[in-house]
Amino acid sequence: MEFIETSLRGAYVVRLNRIEDDRGYFARGWCREEFIQHKLNPEIKQLNIGFSHKSGTIRGMHYQLAPHDEAKFVRCTRGAIYDVIIDLRAGSPTLGRWYGVELTADNGAMVYAPEGCAHGYQTLKDETETYYMTSALYVPSAVRGVRYDDPAFGVKWPVAVSAISAADRDWPDYQFSANTPEKQQFHA
């Protein structure tokens, strides 16, 4: 696997090193030891699958509060998504910044979103499926989110929104505390 650091501290795009022949290819999609070498959380507590019927569907931007905060390792297994991470970690040099990247079934790229970051995605094709691992169990009382169009972050989504849950649409405006730096707008 090839680990490519993003503009957010601790977040990575991971590319497959494919061994190809006339049958197709073989690649390692996860390795505990490689995660440890890159100082990434190697715990896997859950495997989740998300399926969306329509292009333009947004899922997110979610995170969980400590002690249930979770790292996510995301791959698109059918179709295509625009995957977004927002850094919400107090004291992080990239606090308030976001990073987005296209993940497709064809490119096989994956994203590692560290603990303390909000994560979500928008589907770019109909009938899109994602597969992702989390380092912590889902705890409903710890779930929080930021709105996909919150002006505090200014995420630029590639297509018009066609579907979103009421919960994801109705998160309140994010408020930086007095101890956090002013909002900065950055994108990939």
Residue 155 · residue 117 · CB < 8 Å: no
What does DSSP assign to residue 140? G
DSSP 3-state of 166: helix
Per-residue pLDDT of 71-93, as tens digits, reads 999 999 999 999 999 999 999 99
Extract the tokens encoding 148: 């996909």
Q: What is the CA radius of gyration of the chain?
A: 16
Extract the tokens encoding 76: 């698109």
User: What band does 185 get if pLDDT is binned at 50, 70 and 90?
Assistant: very low
Reply yes or no on whether 131 is catalytic.
no
Question: Is 42 a residue whose pLDDT tops 70?
Answer: yes
Question: Is 13 a residue whose pLDDT tops 70?
Answer: yes
Q: pLDDT over 70 for what percent of the chain?
A: 94
Give the model's pLDDT for residue 179: 47
H or E element in which residue 103 lies: strand 98-104
Extract the tokens encoding 31: 């390795």
Give mean pLDDT, residues 17-33: 95
Question: Is 178 a residue whose pLDDT tops 90?
Answer: no
Q: Which one from 82, 99, 112, 132 is the annotated catalytic residue?
A: 132
Residues 6+ apart with CB under 8 A from 56: 122, 123, 159, 160, 161, 162, 163
Preceding peptide of 61 cis, ω within 30°: yes
User: Domain map of the chain by residue range?
Assistant: 2-169
Q: Which one from 62, 99, 112, 119 is the annotated catalytic residue?
A: 62
User: What band does 180 get if pLDDT is binned at 50, 70 and 90?
Assistant: very low
Give the model's pLDDT for residue 183: 39
Extract the tokens encoding 108: 């096989």
Extract the tokens encoding 186: 């950055």
Reply yes or no on whether 68 is catalytic.
no
The CATH class given to the 2-169 domain equals mainly beta
Question: Is 188 a residue whose pLDDT tops 80?
Answer: no
At residue 182, what is the residue type?
E
